Chain A
């Protein structure tokens, strides 16, 4: 049964990308365990505003775990201690009375801090722009049922496509690698006949962009998979490696 708890927060505050940040400590009383983690932060901000201070800046939008905007590193875990959830789906019932909760932004060279807990993830967009698509224009496409796709392939593609681009993979990776994100998109499209046509080109272009943007090299620690709120599997990384290596060998 949910009760009310008192907690201490250690929150990373940083004015801008080039400024030095530091932890600030805040105390919150009577937080209902039924509230979500972000609602708890709303309460903190309300308190700060009432005290005439600047509220903590953090990214969030849909608050139902699908938009991928929220991005907090809570007590040493991307998206907090619960599994298979985003920060916005994390609830305070995961914490106990008297707990100290440390909240940090994603830390990765690929995701510079904008302010406090808000980071810049436009690198992921750039990787998508390099090749995360099927090159078809609107109109003039065949009927949707013209090419049957084995259910197994469609399901696997859907598993990979569930990625929400939140950046937890790179944030949790000790190498700052974006391989899980890239492999999810490459896998989704490589598994479907529509995307198969330019699969080789896509794998090469997306990996090249990922490397160019300074993401690290995957060493298969699987931390990405374990911290991924959508349970994207590292078998996608194996597939990306396969796609990439065979594409390069064919060149």
Chain B
């Protein structure tokens, strides 16, 4: 089996990035003007990369699926962004942020990448402040911090409950400036449908103009994918409605490896599902766990009474409550990492202690915080989240505890990239959540924003030059080349095929079915039999989709159902790959929990001797099983341990 080379630079951990930058190839200003870069996506990673590349002098073509780059789903991140500033003098450092991230990721991330991430984290905060991001401040005028899951220091910077929004608007403003200056050409309401490879290198993309339905071709010297994750494979997730895995999936089908697809994060604090018609789930920020305490009734009888509406949570006495996170993990308590908190909630609900009408919910209680700090302070900290909750659930969280349940939120897996963020296809780069990332098997809270911006502002603008330096002699490509024509033809055939099915089921009903299969068999607890069932069911569902989907309207027109169908076709295939990967990884780590592999106390049990690698899946063709290649994760600097959040 071929071993995959991550091109990690040699040398001591702390010097790798500095050395890399000192020795990498650069492109001089005159040549930058002659080089075009396509950036797909305008989230934190895409917008920051597009803006930074344009500032440097490259010509950037930027594509966005929404009507404006400001709407990318990064905007929905609430809690904050981590950085190793140590402003609170609580012992933080680059090394500690690195270590927490590696440990939080259950030792399945690449050491050198994570260290680089921790290193540039501080520059991100500086950059954002300079852009006018209104981070929360203390009365002395300096920046405030809060603490997040998986860390014992307060290193999270925040802007109320809207940190993602403020950071994205910062990147969007930088991007807007470059659009105004003519250095970035912006294409709104365009969806990438394929990547075009010429002589083994990524040279362009095919898009569908979502307003006219026209298939369009764009060429460039390099292509950057920043299209986010694929949580919507599960239908119900906290992702936005248009968040999809198609761009990444097309890269995979063109030869880019897909890494660790089974590593999906299930966020513990979401508003529970309330009915069949539900279209998406809403996240309640992890920051709530700073002051909120999670509990279920200690007695099954009480839980049952609550479910049938006979008892109110406030009527349950203190001694009859089970603060199970505090009980199981005394050292971290309610601030254990997400995977741990999610599994613990599932464990309680499976055991019959769940609350809410469905029994699939636990309480997040602020009564103690309100007693300790006063309602005003709580309102100041979480007011907008409380309001959001009340609007959705019609229940006042200041008086009755919130109900929460885990939901799909983020995918650590994604397109495989090397140290330079280049995929296995030369000239094709992946940044942000779209790549398989620095989060290993589990991402810590407030680290997604950090990684997106690190990639976009401070990593890719350097590493891409190492590639582009060799491209300065390459003239611009015509989009009339046969490779472009072929790609467009294939897309048109695919769309034709879909339009001709004229079946009976809407896209959404099939997507919901996909979601049920994924959640039931490839969700929080996975086992061999279930995963095999899932693969069977997914294959049947694929047939059902391709023979029974109904898409009204025309292809060459604004057609929302066609857009959704194209995405769903990829989600079904992606779901199967997730199941394959989950089946192959016979261990539990981070967000991937195999029921067969757990400690006596029900904690995730890793098998470092056998699975200390990144699984990189290679596409083999339609209806053929993919092949897995391995990138070994040799830890030089950190000793792997059983993750312990107990003491």
Touch test A–B (CB under 8 Å): yes
Does the CB pair A46–B508 fall under 8 Å?
yes
Neighbouring B residues of A97 by C-beta, 8 Å:
none
Render A175-190 as a binary contact track against B, CB cut-off 8 A, 1 for contact: 0000000000000110
Given contacts A61-B241, A145-B143, A189-B132, contact A115 B558 (CB under 8 A): yes
A129 to B188 CA separation, bound complex (whole angstroms): 14
Does the CB pair B558–A114 fall under 8 Å?
yes
Specify which of B72, B138, B159, B509 is in contact with A158 (CB 8 Å cutoff): B159
Which residues of chain B from 428 to 470 have any CB-CB distance to chain A below 8 Å in the complex?
Answer: 457-458, 461
A132 to B75 CA separation, bound complex (whole angstroms): 18
A35 to B186 CA separation, bound complex (whole angstroms): 36
Render A130-148 as a binary contact track against B, CB cut-off 8 A, 1 for contact: 1111111111011111001
Min CB gap B80→A, angstroms? 14
Specify which of B141, B159, B173 is in contact with A151 (CB 8 Å cutoff): B141
Neighbouring A residues of B71 by C-beta, 8 Å:
61-62, 67-69
Given contacts A53-B552, A89-B392, contact A63 B277 (CB under 8 A): no
Does the CB pair B162–A157 fall under 8 Å?
no
Does the CB pair A139–B127 fall under 8 Å?
yes
Does the CB pair A129–B76 fall under 8 Å?
no
Q: Interface residue count for B (Cβ, 8 Å)?
A: 82
Given contacts A144-B129, A161-B134, contact A67 B162 (CB under 8 A): no
Render A16-53 as a binary contact track against B, CB cut-off 8 A, 1 for contact: 00000000000000001011101100110010111011
Specify which of A32, A68, A143, A162 is in contact with B275 (CB 8 Å cutoff): A32
Neighbouring A residues of B553 by C-beta, 8 Å:
54
Specify which of A32, A138, A145 is in contact with B55 (CB 8 Å cutoff): A138
A130 to B181 CA separation, bound complex (whole angstroms): 9
Most chain B Cβ neighbours within 10 Å, of A49, A114, A115, A131: A49
Does the CB pair A144–B461 fall under 8 Å?
no
Neighbouring A residues of B277 by C-beta, 8 Å:
32, 35, 39, 42-43
Identify the closest chain B residue to A35 (Cβ). B277
A4 to B51 CA separation, bound complex (whole angstroms): 49
Does the CB pair B165–A164 fall under 8 Å?
yes
Most chain B Cβ neighbours within 10 Å, of A53, A65, A67, A84: A67
Specify which of A62, A120, A143, A151 is in contact with B75 (CB 8 Å cutoff): A62
A165 beta carbon closer than 8 Å to chain B: yes
Given contacts A62-B240, A120-B67, contact A134 B274 (CB under 8 A): no
Min CB gap A28→B, angstroms? 11
Neighbouring A residues of B274 by C-beta, 8 Å:
34
Does the CB pair B159–A194 fall under 8 Å?
no
Neighbouring A residues of B159 by C-beta, 8 Å:
158, 161
Min CB gap A234→B, angstroms? 19
Most chain A Cβ neighbours within 10 Å, of B48, B141, B553: B141
B388 beta carbon closer than 8 Å to chain A: yes
Neighbouring A residues of B134 by C-beta, 8 Å:
154-155, 157-158, 161, 188, 192
A101 beta carbon closer than 8 Å to chain B: no
Does the CB pair A136–B392 fall under 8 Å?
no
Stretch at the interface among B101-109, B254-262, B279-287, B479-487: B279-287
Does the CB pair B51–A49 fall under 8 Å?
no
Identify the closest chain A residue to B279 (Cβ). A39
Which residues of chain B from 531 to 566 have any CB-CB distance to chain A below 8 Å in the complex?
Answer: 550, 552-553, 558, 560-561
Neighbouring B residues of A54 by C-beta, 8 Å:
552-553
A43 to B509 CA separation, bound complex (whole angstroms): 11
Neighbouring B residues of A124 by C-beta, 8 Å:
68
B234 beta carbon closer than 8 Å to chain A: no
A125 beta carbon closer than 8 Å to chain B: yes
B169 beta carbon closer than 8 Å to chain A: yes
Specify which of B127, B136, B240, B283 is in contact with A154 (CB 8 Å cutoff): B136
Does the CB pair A139–B458 fall under 8 Å?
yes
Total A-B contacts with CB atoms under 8 angstroms apart: 214
Neighbouring B residues of A60 by C-beta, 8 Å:
241
Does the CB pair B241–A138 fall under 8 Å?
no
Identify the closest chain B residue to A119 (Cβ). B67
Does the CB pair B461–A138 fall under 8 Å?
yes
Identify the closest chain A residue to B241 (Cβ). A61
Neighbouring B residues of A68 by C-beta, 8 Å:
70-71
A201 beta carbon closer than 8 Å to chain B: no
A74 beta carbon closer than 8 Å to chain B: no
Identify the closest chain A residue to B53 (Cβ). A138
Neighbouring A residues of B199 by C-beta, 8 Å:
none
A77 beta carbon closer than 8 Å to chain B: no
Render B341-369 as a binary contact track against A, CB cut-off 8 A, 1 for contact: 00000000000000000000000000000
Identify the closest chain B residue to A138 (Cβ). B52
Identify the closest chain B residue to A134 (Cβ). B132
Does the CB pair A195–B132 fall under 8 Å?
yes
Neighbouring A residues of B70 by C-beta, 8 Å:
68, 125, 128, 165
Given contacts A133-B176, A139-B127, contact A49 B162 (CB under 8 A): no
Min CB gap A140→B, angstroms? 9
Q: What residues make up the interface of B, taking CB atoms closer than 8 Å to A?
A: 48, 51-52, 55, 66-73, 75-76, 85, 87, 123, 125-143, 159-160, 162, 164-166, 169, 172-174, 176-177, 179-180, 186, 188, 211, 238, 240-242, 274-275, 277-280, 282-283, 387-388, 391-392, 394, 457-458, 461, 506, 508-509, 550, 552-553, 558, 560-561
Q: What residues make up the interface of A, taking CB atoms closer than 8 Å to B?
A: 2, 32, 34-36, 38-39, 42-43, 46, 48-50, 52-55, 57, 59-69, 82, 84-85, 89, 91, 93, 114-115, 118, 120-122, 124-125, 128-139, 141-145, 148-151, 154-155, 157-158, 161-162, 164-165, 188-189, 192, 194-195
- Please, could you name 25 A-B residue pairs with CB atoms under 8 Å apart, sorted by A? A34-B275, A39-B279, A49-B506, A53-B552, A59-B67, A61-B241, A62-B76, A66-B75, A66-B76, A84-B387, A89-B388, A115-B558, A122-B67, A124-B68, A129-B176, A131-B180, A132-B173, A138-B461, A139-B458, A141-B129, A144-B135, A148-B137, A188-B132, A192-B134, A194-B130
Additional A-B contacts beyond A39-B279, A138-B457 (19; CB < 8 A): A2-B394, A32-B277, A55-B561, A62-B240, A89-B388, A124-B68, A132-B176, A136-B131, A141-B129, A142-B126, A144-B135, A148-B140, A148-B141, A150-B137, A150-B141, A154-B135, A158-B134, A158-B136, A161-B169
